[in-house]
Amino acid sequence: MIENANINRQGGPVRVGRSLTLGALGFASAVTLLMVLAPASGAIAHPTVLAAPYKGTIKSPSVSTLVTGCAKAKAPPSTWTPATGIITAGSSASSSICPKSIGPAGGPSNGNAGAGVTVTIPLKIARSGTHAVATSFSLILNTSQSVSSAPCPLKNLYPQPINAVAQSYCEDGIGDIWSVTAQVFDLTNTSWSSIQSYGASYGFSSYSNSTYCYNTGTPACSNSSSSTSSGFLYSSQAPGFSKFVWNGGTSWTMWTNGTKMVKTDKFALLISVNVYIDTYAYKDNLLGAWSGAAAARVNMSTLGNGLSVNSITIH
């Protein structure tokens, strides 16, 4: 399942869905959760710990690519190896201005690539009641980004007649998304579900130059230019995810719990991982050529990169 992310024409991200950022409060929430789940009698409940090799699992990979103009996109199939608990995925995309164009036709490019996988791991509970499931992850990523920052050529704008407007621009940019969710499902009672935990990181870089001319009695023009780079981080029930890095290693734990769990029911933990890249390059109404380009690559599959499901602890 690939999460949708769009980049608008002004270079801003459009994000859909609710999110909550947890930092230092994540660990405190996890401790509070365990205190609530402690047996009222004071007896010690011994947790069940699962680790690789994971038995009876299934996977559901997904891949999506979309290109327009002179863009390129690639997303190799994601993998899950139950013997080691390793998930791999990766995406790459690039967009550049097509060498031949007439006005707004033939120049713009857009390249999207996404890869993901959902892994289902069977769970068994020792007793009926409320349980918390803690999944330990370790991630190693390698990410690259590049955005052209060459100035735009002269604009094809002239004094406008009364009450007329005209615009000329060049822009390119990149958006990267990495996300993970974890949730427990009752396979016997499909109306039952647990609290979902999730983590997502979003990175964005762009360059733009735009000139706008108008005439409301006196001809005038305005110009704006910007080069931006930003990032956002969202998580819930995932202490440690706040230290997520696009290059290097990150470790965290994801908590999901459910009440009124029945011992005789069949349960499963669903882990979904997604990698998504959006690149674009546009130009319009310029007097000369512009070599705008944007490219990005997220490697979570080769050279030691990957996501490890270290252990699953049922409290």
Q: What is the model's pLDDT at position 258?
A: 86
Q: What is the model's pLDDT at position 142?
A: 96
Helix (H) or strand (E) holding 28: helix 25-37
The phi-psi region of residue 248 (left if phi > 0; otherwise alpha if psi is between -120 and 50; otherwise beta) is left
* Per-domain boundaries in the chain: 56-99+111-314
Q: What is the model's pLDDT at position 289?
A: 84
> In angstroms, rounded to a whole number, what is the distance separating the alpha carbons of residues 270 and 90?
20
Rounded percentage of the chain residues whose pLDDT exceeds 70: 83
What is the average pLDDT value for the chain, to the nearest integer? 85
**Residue 244, SS3 per DSSP:** coil
pLDDT band at 32 (very low <50, low <70, confident <90, very high): very low
Backbone dihedral angles phi then psi of residue 242, each to the nearest 5 degrees: -65, -15
Q: Would you say the pTM of this structure is higher than 0.85?
A: no
Among residues 98, 226, 104, the alpha carbon closest in space to that of 167 is found at: 104
Give per-residue pLDDT as tens, 55-96: 999 999 999 999 999 999 999 989 999 999 999 999 999 999
> Does the pLDDT value for residue 16 go beyond 50?
no
CA 192 to the chain's CA centroid: 27
